[in-house]
């Protein structure tokens, strides 16, 4: 099995490529949404606002699948299946993601009253694919 | 609810933006993969080779979620949840998708012995999001 430390996967995750985060809705269907992602050691870390659909899904069912690919080559991608855990430091983390994705030290899109939530994702299955 | 006929959604689906197709693995986890997609009337249509993981998942459990966004703006996307049905015409369909995505009349990546499979997806929930 691949791991997040494989160089090609690391490169995909270090670049500001967005993640497609897929979670389980209560009715059993799959919710897919787009989010920022980075790595922390052997885990992924994602961030949202409390009350939005995908973090609410993860609070109920932590099983998650994350797919990342570079926009200029969708034939290369990494798919990570794992288990999400709520982590401390959501505010610092969204600022770090802002730095990564839009080169701003402070996340600029915060809505008044918004509470951020951070999840780390321990990978159980990492699949890397490159075609063409 | 949005429909596939909304102009912004039609535009997203007419352009050669890839789809992230999320299906249910037998163990309950979510498999996400990248595929070509087009529309047929009020439905989506996707195509794969028989025996690959995501079409095999769909043959067992037709519940699927498809997300499409333009690579230059991941803050705009459409998410479609629906039910997949195997359809006739898989060979003609993969050629049509080749025309859409790589401007070739015949799909050039066919492997000897490969059997194509086409699914249409009847939308049950269409979510369009545009931020920033």
Collapsed DSSP state (helix, strand, coil) of residue A129: strand
The residue among A20, A126, A14 whose CA lies nearest residue A81 is A126
What is this structure's pTM?
0.96
Within 8 A by CB and 6+ apart from B73, the residues are none
pLDDT at B74: 85
Instruction: List, for residues A52-75, the tens digit of each pLDDT value.
Output: 999 999 999 999 999 999 988 888
Q: What is the 3-state secondary structure (H, E, C) of B47-102?
A: EEECCCHHHHHHHHCCEEEEEECCCCCCCEEEEEEEEEEEECCHHHHHHHHHHHHH
Residue A104 lies in a domain: yes
Residue B58 lies in a domain: yes
Give the C-alpha separation, A3 to A42, whole Å.
Answer: 8
Judged against a pLDDT cut of 60, whether residue A132 lies above it is answered with: no
- Alpha-carbon distance values, B118 to A11, A30, B121 (Å): 33, 21, 10
Give the C-alpha separation, A37 to A65, whole Å.
Answer: 12
Residue A2 lies in a domain: no
The Cα angle at residue B125 between residues A119 and B102, in degrees rounded to 5:
85
Residue B83 lies in a domain: yes
Residues of A in contact with B125 (CB under 8 A): 29
Q: Look over chain A and give the mean of its residue pLDDT values, rounded to a whole number.
A: 95
- Return the CATH number at A70: 2.30.110.10
Candidates B20, B28, B44, B62, partner chain A, best to mutate (most A CBs within 10 A): B20
Q: Which two tokens stand for residue A47?
A: 């961030």
With CB atoms and an 8 Å threshold, state whether A69 touches B32: no
Residue B37 lies in a domain: yes
Per-window interface: A 11-70 vs B, CB < 8 A: 18, 20, 22-24, 28-34, 63-67, 69
B75 reaches A (C-beta below 8 A): yes
Q: Who wins on pLDDT, A116 or B132?
A: A116
Residue B1 lies in a domain: no
With CB atoms and an 8 Å threshold, state whether A34 touches B75: yes
Q: Residue B112 in contact with residue B49, Cβ under 8 Å?
A: no
Residue A1 lies in a domain: no
Q: Who wins on pLDDT, A1 or B14?
A: B14
With CB atoms and an 8 Å threshold, state whether A22 touches B22: yes
Question: Which residue range forms the structural domain that includes residue A22?
Answer: 7-130
Residue B95 phi, psi dihedral angles, 5° rounding: -70, -40
Q: How many residues does chain B have?
A: 132
Kindly give the confidence (pLDDT) of every residue in chain B, 132 residues in length, as a single tens digit, with 9 standing for 90 and above.
789 999 999 999 999 999 999 999 999 999 999 999 999 999 999 999 999 999 999 999 999 999 999 988 888 999 999 999 999 999 999 999 999 999 999 999 999 999 999 999 999 999 999 875
Cβ-nearest to B30 among A30, A109, A132: A30
* Count of structural domains within chain B: 1
Residue B2 lies in a domain: no
């Amino acid at each position: 099995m691949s791991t997040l430390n494989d160089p090609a996967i690391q490169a995909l995750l270090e670049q500001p490529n967005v993640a497609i985060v897929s979670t389980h809705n209560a009715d059993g269907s799959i919710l897919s949404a787009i989010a920022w992602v980075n790595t922390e050691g052997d885990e992924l870390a994602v961030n949202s606002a409390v009350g939005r659909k995908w973090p609410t899904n993860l609070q109920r069912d932590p099983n998650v699948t994350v797919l990342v690919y570079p926009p200029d080559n969708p034939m290369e991608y990494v798919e990570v299946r794992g288990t999400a855990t709520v982590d401390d430091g959501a505010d610092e983390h969204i600022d770090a993601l802002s730095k990564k994705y839009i080169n701003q030290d402070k996340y600029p899109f915060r809505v008044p009253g918004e509470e951020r939530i951070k999840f780390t994702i321990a990978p159980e299955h990492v699949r890397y694919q490159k075609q063409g």
